Amino acid sequence: MKLDSKIPQGPMAEKWSNYKANQKLVNPANKRKLDIIVVGTGLAGASAAASFGEMGFNVKNFTIQDSPRRAHSIAAQGGINAAKNYPNDGDSIHRLFYDTVKGGDYRAREANVHRLAEVSNDIIDQCVAQGVPFAREYGGLLDNRSFGGAQVSRTFYAKGQTGQQLLIGAYQALMRQVNAGTVDLYTRTEIVDIVMVDGKARGVIARDLVTGEFQRHFGHAVVLATGGYGNAFFLSTNAMGSNGSAAIKAYQKGAAFANPCFAQIHPTCIPVHGEFQSKLTLMSESLRNDGRIWVPKKKEDAEAIRAGKLKPTQIAEENRDYYLERRYPAFGNLVPRDVASRAAKERCDAGFGVGATGLAVYLDFKSAIERLGEDAIRARYGNLFQMYEKIVDDNPYETPMMIYPAIHYTMGGIWVDYELQTTVPGLFAAGEANFSDHGANRLGASALMQGLADGYFVLPYTIQNYLADDISTPRMTGDEKEFVDAENEAKAKFEKLLAIKGNRSVDSIHKELGLVMWDFVGMARKKEGLEQAIEKIAAIKKEFYSNVRIPGSGEGMNVELEKASRLADFIEIGDLMARDALHREESCGGHFREEYQTEEGEAQRQDDKFTYAGCWEYQGEDKAPVMHKEELTFEVVKVAQRNYK
Amino acid sequence: MENNISLTLKVWRQNGPKEKGRFETYKLEKVSTDSSFLEMMDILNEQLINDGNEPVAFDHDCREGICGMCSLYINGRPHGPDDDVTTCQLHMRKFKDGETITIEPWRSAGFPVIKDLIVNRNAFDTIIAAGGYTSVSTGGVPDANAIPIPKVDADEAMDAASCIGCGACVATCKNGSAMLFVSAKVSHLALLPQGKVEAARRAKNMVAKMDELGFGNCTNTGACEVECPKGVSISNIARLNREFLKAKLQD
Amino acid sequence: MSTIFGSSIGRKLLMSLSGLFLVVFLIIHLSINLLLLVPDGGQMFNVAANFMALPLIKYGLQPVLFAGFIVHIIYAAILTAQNNKARGSAKYASGNNTKDVMWASKNMFVLGLTVSAFLVVHLIDYWVPLQITHAAESITIDGVEMHNTYALVNAAFAESWRVILYVIGALGLTIHLTHGFWSAFQTLGLSNNIWRKRWTVIGIAFAWIVGLGFSLIAILQFAFYQ
């Protein structure tokens, strides 16, 4: 496998301009002859499909939901970063680029990140033109806030629903193209395989989730914008339908899967309450701007709280351990997500956790309410407090919130070059689905930025460079052998699942996988644990293929069948994550290996050995994958140990 | 405080769009009051699968009240007996031990049933496609701060734009009207200078599509706004009427 | 313009405009009827009521008024039929438990039928003898011969069953108006978060003034003017 990142020549700040100046283009008459398949309708997928349609390509856009507007991008609360420097506080493209590379713990590709920072400003302009109702000042200009420990205020937001508003902007642009006839929308339709013709991606096999019928679709190129694979953990902040299946299909067709172990754990989620919990709810990171995180200083207090004998409000100030402020005086409660998450786990593991399970810490607004008044806090976080109260039945104005880390975002994903093309020619990946610009850790408010950058401003250029060579490739009908074979293969997989007729529900096996992932491939990993995890996952796989029970048939809607086929792929992803985590003998970003930490418990990178992206190549059913390296070189950014003290 | 309750569920079951449906009754023991309503449905499905039956199909996704996927008409109310929540945010502490809960799909000619509790809401997408956007293509737009927008307008646009497209407004409306949904989109864009350019065309096209798809005529009962999980106000409907009549009178 | 009344909002516009037109009629009607309470043996009332006999009113405005009623009633029927169709054939087994919705707003058609039924009785009682058969007796006031409308009314309200019927009709109208009044302005687009509250208050006040006004006149006529 050859990993050619295709980074353009020239100084960092000129690479993207140089690329655009020299790339191949497709003229308008030829665009009409070219078909592009876009899988997914989140920020990356909808923005890409809409942009391709506007340019004159024929687009087929697929979503598993009933509407493009349901994609999980919609749930992002906080905001979107851009280097506009409207507040005049010293921001610039270079600073956004630098912060993103540093925040990613120096495991991202510099050229991609710089391009991301460059187009960030265009995204805001585009969204405003679409009618995204960003928050404004009384003067009528856009408001910015600081987010996730950035030293500048560069985050644009629309109440606590920024993801929703950006997605609706992209969705509206998409529906405009549907109306214009340039985009064919396939809702409640899932991609079950990618069709390869002469070594290139030329289409997909889709399954209509309502009728259960299989469909063959041709495209000169295929774009996967299918999001992350955090649901391998069963419990995560992802939506119930979020899955990694398209990514796994790509991987099995020869696309390298990069850095699968880089998963972000978000520190401020509502803790798990019971065994039937289906998902974890995120509370916006912005809460950390005013909330103070603590656990009791004395173990006996923590035990009394867990037993329900003591209330948090009864713990005197001097008996509280504001551990983030204690450990990181410079950043305090605003340390990056990975640091905050690990610190919470450390306290809970040491026996200071609160809540019935002992797996929670307090996020306290008492001092903020004293300082600013309850009304000010209500104005800032009212909707979040209400959401918390609905779920937990506790009033956060009176008693501190309980939070605990949860899986939130996956930085790893399908490996792509500078053009967002995978190692399979004609197959592209965008948004969270690719291994992205976030390295080993993503900064707050950067996911929305990356999704839209890929869809609006990167793919519309780079895909032309590929398609320019395809203008005389005729459309295929879908009756070619490759398509028929792929469909038969996909059908066989579904029939195999239906034929198992075992005793266990899909969810019960998924939960088992999730527990293994959380215990061994979660916030803190170590060699023995990861080795165990690989064995356990293999056992779960065996259990799944021999004992899963899927009621009903392949005809008509069958939700359990959908879930089973996704779980089969999550099992592959879980294995891949464990393997990657095992091989990466360092701690960086979202990946923390207990063997590699400083005396104070901080993450320790091994730059001399691991300054690369680990890219896994599929070798076939039940064969161990092979790892290839894309070495990362840093021309501009000075690699240093992150320090938030 | 956590408690366990037992429930009797009357659930609408329907195998397919053309099939005849019926209510099935299920008993469920020891449901934690800390569970969400959909987690309760998960427990029911786990029980059904373990008993060798087909689970109940229902729409859901984000489970945090923003994607608009979950529906369910519970005990006479869309999204159940709590205010300002979607079904996924409804918790079992709202129910009493031994209670019988009736669970139905959205009922409206515009939302045909696909299976069990799942309905087809594609009509909403079709209405948006008829004009719920600004006709700007990617690139070549002015700087985001080129046009100042009064904060009150931006905030009001945001309130209208917070619609999640769940369809509770249609489900509860005795007229099966989609006016709250359409008016939220028309208002969101009409309040902003970027959207004003096409305001007349948009109002006409979206209303025409809404009528064509067979949604009913609004009689201002206001039930939609009571059941809207995002509290979208029917003052948006007044604005839509204004925009539409203005547009028609200018023709 | 051509297609405006073919749209849902256009149909509602007709309901709104015809409704507001009828509201104006109610104001005039009530103002004249209040003269029934002037203890002058019906003289002022008869003079005021006689304007109905003017050719301009009889042949000019009266048909417009009828048209207003007919548009309002026919479109109510069309809208109700369309809305029933849009609601779909499958009904909710668990009914509707949505709170904070005005009862009147969900029962406008039924209330409208009640008012219409009353209207028929009302027309037979007064409009037919005064305008068609001219069976009502005559009286001459200040040299002008006219129907003694007062006598007709006074005689009618001597019967308790009719008073009860008229009170029921007036209350039906009241409830109809509690929703209809503000709704008309909402449909015209002349409403927002502030004005909606104002229109509702004005509408409810107006509805009760009209309803209690007509009822009181009937009751007082029965009790004190015989």
Average pLDDT over residues A96-115: 96
Tell me if chain A has a CB within 8 Å of the CB of B18: no
CA A346 – CA A361 distance, rounded (Å):
11
Helix (H) or strand (E) holding B4: strand B4-13
Which of these three, B114, B147, B169, is where a domain ends?
A: B114
CA A215 – CA A31 distance, rounded (Å):
24
Report the percent of chain B where pLDDT is more than 90: 98
Instruction: With CA atoms as reference, report the closest residue to A386 among A134, A143, A160, A73.
Output: A160
Whether the Cβ atoms of residue B66 and residue A75 lie closer than 8 Å to each other: yes
Tell me if chain A has a CB within 8 Å of the CB of B242: no
Average pLDDT over residues A286-310: 93
Alpha helices in chain C (DSSP H): 8-34, 43-49, 55, 62-87, 103-106, 108-122, 149-156, 160-187, 193-224
**Predicted ipTM of the assembly:** 0.97
Structural domain for B246, as ranges: 122-250
A398, exposed or middle or buried, with CB in 10 Å at 0-12, 13-18, 19+? Answer: exposed
Biggest CA-to-CA distance, chain A:
76
CA A636 – CA A353 distance, rounded (Å):
42
B87 lies in the same domain as B178: no
Whether the Cβ atoms of residue B56 and residue B41 lie closer than 8 Å to each other: yes
Residues of A numbered 495-514 whose beta carbons fall under 8 angstroms of chain B's beta carbons: which are they?
A: 505, 507-508
Q: Which residues pair with A413 in a beta bridge?
A: A258
Determine the CATH number of domain A481-610. Answer: 1.20.58.100
Average pLDDT over residues C170-187: 97
Average pLDDT over residues C60-64: 92
CB contact under 8 A, C192 and B248: no
Chains that touch B (3 or more CB pairs under 8 A): A, C
Number of CB atoms found within 10 A of residue A516's CB: 25
CB contact under 8 A, C8 and B217: yes
Average pLDDT over residues A492-496: 97
Whether the Cβ atoms of residue A182 and residue A60 lie closer than 8 Å to each other: no
Domains, chain C, in order of start with CATH, read 4-87+104-224 (1.20.1300.10)
Average pLDDT over residues B207-227: 97
Which one of A172, A306, A384 would you mutate to disrupt binding with B, by most B Cβ within 10 Å of its Cβ? A172
B163 lies in the same domain as B225: yes
Residues of A numbered 566-585 whose beta carbons fall under 8 angstroms of chain B's beta carbons: which are they?
A: none
Which one of A168, A187, A506, A512 would you mutate to disrupt binding with B, by most B Cβ within 10 Å of its Cβ? A168
Residues in C closer than 8 angstroms to B173, CB to CB, are: 87
Q: Can chain A be said to touch chain B, i.e. do they have 3 or more Cβ pairs within 8 angstroms? A: yes
Residues of B numbered 208-227 whose beta carbons fall under 8 angstroms of chain A's beta carbons: which are they?
A: none
Q: Can chain C be said to touch chain A, i.e. do they have 3 or more Cβ pairs within 8 angstroms? A: no
Which of these three, B79, B95, B114, is where a domain ends?
A: B114
Numbers of helices and strands, H then E, in chain A: 19, 19
CB contact under 8 A, B175 and C87: yes
A275 contact partners, CB below 8 Å, separation of at least 6 = none
CA A533 – CA A540 distance, rounded (Å):
10
Q: What is the pLDDT of residues A317-338, one digit of tens each?
A: 999 999 999 999 988 998 888 8
pLDDT band at C102 (very low <50, low <70, confident <90, very high): very high
Residue with tokens 């965008």: A430
* Portions of chain A given CATH number 1.20.58.100: 481-610
Among candidates B38, B85, B138 on the partner chain, residue whose Cβ is nearest the Cβ of A456:
B138
**What CATH fold (topology level) applies to the domain A267-407?**
Flavocytochrome C3; Chain A, domain 1 (3.90.700)
Sign of the CA dihedral with A97 first, then A99, A102, and A105 last = negative
B132 lies in the same domain as B232: yes
Closest residue in A to B154 (Cα–Cα): A133
- Report the pLDDT value the prediction gives residue A338, as an integer from 0 to 100: 84
Q: Is the pLDDT of residue C2 over 60?
A: no
- Report the pLDDT value the prediction gives residue C1, as an integer from 0 to 100: 46
B61 lies in the same domain as B136: no
- Report the pLDDT value the prediction gives residue A289, as an integer from 0 to 100: 86
Tell me if chain B has a CB within 8 Å of the CB of A81: no
Among candidates A127, A551, A556 on the partner chain, residue whose Cβ is nearest the Cβ of B53:
A551
Which one of B241, B243, B249 would you mutate to disrupt binding with C, by most C Cβ within 10 Å of its Cβ? B241
CA B218 – CA B239 distance, rounded (Å):
13
Q: Is the pLDDT of residue B2 over 70?
A: no
Average pLDDT over residues A401-430: 97
* Mean pLDDT score of chain B: 96
Whether the Cβ atoms of residue A424 and residue A223 lie closer than 8 Å to each other: no
B139 lies in the same domain as B91: no
CA A604 – CA A583 distance, rounded (Å):
15
* Portions of chain A given CATH number 3.90.700.10: 267-407
Report the percent of chain B where pLDDT is more than 70: 99
CB contact under 8 A, B129 and A276: no
* Mean pLDDT score of chain A: 95
Instruction: With CA atoms as reference, report the closest residue to A37 among A243, A216, A255, A203.
Output: A203
Which one of C9, C16, C107, C108 would you mutate to disrupt binding with B, by most B Cβ within 10 Å of its Cβ? C9
Among candidates A84, A281, A549 on the partner chain, residue whose Cβ is nearest the Cβ of B64:
A281
Which of these three, B66, B84, B114, is where a domain ends?
A: B114
Residues, chain C, total?
Answer: 226
Q: Is the pLDDT of residue C5 over 60?
A: yes
Cα→Cα distances B70→A460, A557, B37, B167, C92, Å: 34, 17, 11, 10, 18
- Tell me the catalytic residues of A: 337
Q: Which residues pair with A222 in a beta bridge?
A: A37, A427
Q: Is the pLDDT of residue A140 over 90?
A: yes
Instruction: Describe the strand order of the beta sheet including A401-410 as a list of residue ranges.
Output: A263-269, A401-410, A361-364, A292-296, A320-321
CB contact under 8 A, C193 and B235: yes
B238 lies in the same domain as B146: yes
- What is the three-state SS of A177-230? HHHHCCEEEECCEEEEEEEEECCEEEEEEEEECCCCCEEEEECCEEEECCCCCH
Collapsing DSSP to helix, strand or coil, A53 comes out as helix
B142 lies in the same domain as B83: no
For residue B40, the domain's CATH number is 3.10.20.30
Collapsing DSSP to helix, strand or coil, A301 comes out as helix
Long-range contact pairs involving C196-199 (C-beta distance under 8 Å, separation at least 24): C196/B234, C196/B235, C196/B238
A13 contact partners, CB below 8 Å, separation of at least 6 = A93, A94, A114, A118
B148 lies in the same domain as B214: yes
- Report the pLDDT value the prediction gives residue A564, as an integer from 0 to 100: 98
Q: Is the pLDDT of residue C158 over 70?
A: yes
Closest residue in C to B228 (Cα–Cα): C98
Q: Is the pLDDT of residue C114 over 80?
A: yes
C194, exposed or middle or buried, with CB in 10 Å at 0-12, 13-18, 19+? Answer: exposed
Q: How many CB pairs below 8 A link A and B?
A: 223
Residues of B numbered 66-125 whose beta carbons fall under 8 angstroms of chain A's beta carbons: which are they?
A: 66-69, 82, 84-85, 89, 91, 93, 114-115, 118, 120-122, 124-125
Look at chain B and report how many structural domains it folds into. 2
Whether the Cβ atoms of residue A58 and residue A180 lie closer than 8 Å to each other: no
The number of C-alpha atoms within 13 Å of A252 and in the hemisphere containing its C-beta is 21
- Report the pLDDT value the prediction gives residue A600, as an integer from 0 to 100: 82
Structure tokens at A344: 């919470």
Q: Is the pLDDT of residue C68 over 70?
A: yes
CA dihedral C142, C144, C147, C152 (to 10 degrees): 0
Average pLDDT over residues C49-59: 86
Closest residue in A to B30 (Cα–Cα): A276
Q: What is the pLDDT of residues A161-211, one digit of tens each?
A: 999 999 999 999 999 999 999 999 999 999 999 999 999 999 999 999 999
Q: What is the pLDDT of residues B137-182, one digit of tens each?
A: 999 999 999 999 999 999 999 999 999 999 999 999 999 999 999 9
